[in-house]
Every structure is written in C-alpha cells, then in structure tokens.
Amino acid sequence: MKHSTAYAQNQIKADCADGIGWLTIDNPSRKNAVTAAMWRALPGAIHWLHADCGARVILLCGGGAGDFCAGADISEFTTVRSDRETARTYEESNSRAFAAIRDAPVPVIAAIRGVCYGGGLGLAAAADLRLAARTAVFAIPAARLGLAYPADAVEDLMRGLGPQLARRMLFTGGALSASDLLTSGFIDTLTEPETLLSQAEALARTIANNAPRSIHAAKLALRAVETGDPDRMRDAEVIGAQTFESADYAEGRQAFAEKRKPTFTGG
C-alpha cells in the first residue's frame, strides 16, 4: 500500500510503498529551489517516512524532469535572510534539514540530475549515497553571492568531496561536472539521465530487502566513526548486540540453510 503526504504547499512531497520512501523537492519552475517553508518542512517529512510509514530507505530527488535542486530560493532573501538575525534563523532551518538527512535512522540516497547547487548540494552531501546523471552539474555559489555556506554543511562537503575539492568549490564558486565528482568519490554511480531514478530505486530495493536492525546499526556505527561520538558508538553497539536475538537473525540463518532469499520484518 502506498502512503503519501505533502508539505509546504505541496512543494515537499513524501511517498512510501514497500519499504521505500520517496522525498521529492517539487518546485520545478524554479529549478527546485528550496523556500524557507520547504527547509522547515524537510525534517517532518523525513520523520514521517521512517517513523510513521516504516520506510527502510529514503530516496531524495527533484521534482519534474530537469533538476535536483538549485539551492535556496534567492528571491526570498530580502525578507528571510536580510540581516544577521534573520539569517541566523534561516540557517537554523537549513541545519535542521541537513541533520534530518544526515542522522535519519535509515539510509538516504540522493538521485541527482541537472543542477545541484548551493543548499541543494548540501542536501545531497548529507545523504548516505549519491547517484547522478552524467549531465548533472554541481556548484557552491556562496562566495559569488557574498554570503557564507553553513558550517555543518561544510563538514559534509569535506567528508564527501575531500578537503581539496571542497576548498576549490567553496573558494571559486565554479561549477564541476558529475564525472569530476565521481573521481572524488562524492558520487557512487553515474547513470544516463533516463535511467537515474530506476537505478536509484533498484539500489533502494536492495537495501530495503536487508534486515532493518542491521542497517540501523551500520548507519549508527558509520556516524559514530565520522563524528567520533562515543554515545553514538555505544548506541550502535547496543543495537548491534540486539540483532543476535532478533527474529530477522533467525530468519537469515534459516534462509541461508534453505538456500532461499530471507524475508526480513524488522523483528
């Protein structure tokens, strides 16, 4: 059964079916630029997908046939990012959106085509895995606009792009191709534009078919290593230990013995 809901005047759409959640940034007339309302809506949409609908993996994509996301909607900046105080409030909503992706208990896959600029690149960088069409283009134009890129998003860029490429993108504001970012390791897979979503969904299906507790433990452990957070590491160890008493572990062993594919329920 498919479940769907929408936020921010239908510009953030969430759909879930068969363990796969789809999170769509749907503002195609502005290259899927993110408004202030959309930034605020993203954490709630992500929570709805994994907590209320049971998504085991989330696919993040842009609406329409063109772009992933052109970043923040600059047309709003005269009101929502006009001075230090309004900018602080605005950037807090950015950070909450990045954190919701980064710390989601399930893997998040970004499927990127067309433009992936600014805050859109920040959303992609916060994801666990990134697939991109060969025609995708990436840039961080903050320095050309006279503003600073959020520090927590810079951390994601450093982790995903590596220190040299992150510096180049932040300092120059210039655009790079998908093949450039494949070489850096930021992108996992390059696809043709017309097969991007089908390949991303196939990857999501592979993940969704695996044991949810195992995936959760793996994501926690990965984040613990990335952040050096001992609390996260302890949580990962606790959840990892619980897998050995889970119904899914019993199912996995039985399926192996019977030479069949396991059916995991998360129990």
For the stretch 5-49, pLDDT in tens is: 999 999 999 999 999 999 999 999 999 999 999 999 999 999 999
Amino acid at 24: T
Q: Chain-wide mean pLDDT for the chain?
A: 94
**Average pLDDT, integer, range 186-203:** 97
Cβ–Cβ under 8 Å, residues 39 and 118: no
Specify the pairing of strand 137-139 against strand 115-117: parallel
Q: How many CA atoms, within 13 angstroms, populate the side-chain half-sphere of residue 25?
A: 36
Cβ–Cβ under 8 Å, residues 24 and 13: yes
91 with 142, same domain? yes
- Rounded CA-CA distance 36/91 in Å is 10
The DSSP element (H or E) to which 147 belongs, if any, is none
- Per the listing, tokens 């949580």 go with 235
- Rounded CA-CA distance 259/261 in Å is 7
165 with 55, same domain? yes
Render pLDDT for 63-100 as a digit per residue (tens, 0 to 9). Answer: 998 899 999 998 888 888 878 888 889 899 999 999 99
**Average pLDDT, integer, range 111-135:** 97
CATH code for the domain in which residue 200 is found: 3.90.226.10
Q: Which domain holds residue 179?
A: 3-208
The total number of structural domains that make up the chain: 2
Mapping DSSP to helix (H, G, I), strand (E, B) and coil, where does residue 57 land?
A: strand
- Rounded CA-CA distance 25/28 in Å is 8
Q: What is the pLDDT of residue 217?
A: 93
CB neighbours (10 Å) of residue 206? 10
204 with 217, same domain? no
- Rounded CA-CA distance 221/243 in Å is 14
203 with 220, same domain? no
- Rounded CA-CA distance 81/77 in Å is 5
Closest CA to 70 of 19, 18, 116: 116
CB neighbours (10 Å) of residue 72? 27
113 with 228, same domain? no
70 with 110, same domain? yes
199 with 220, same domain? no
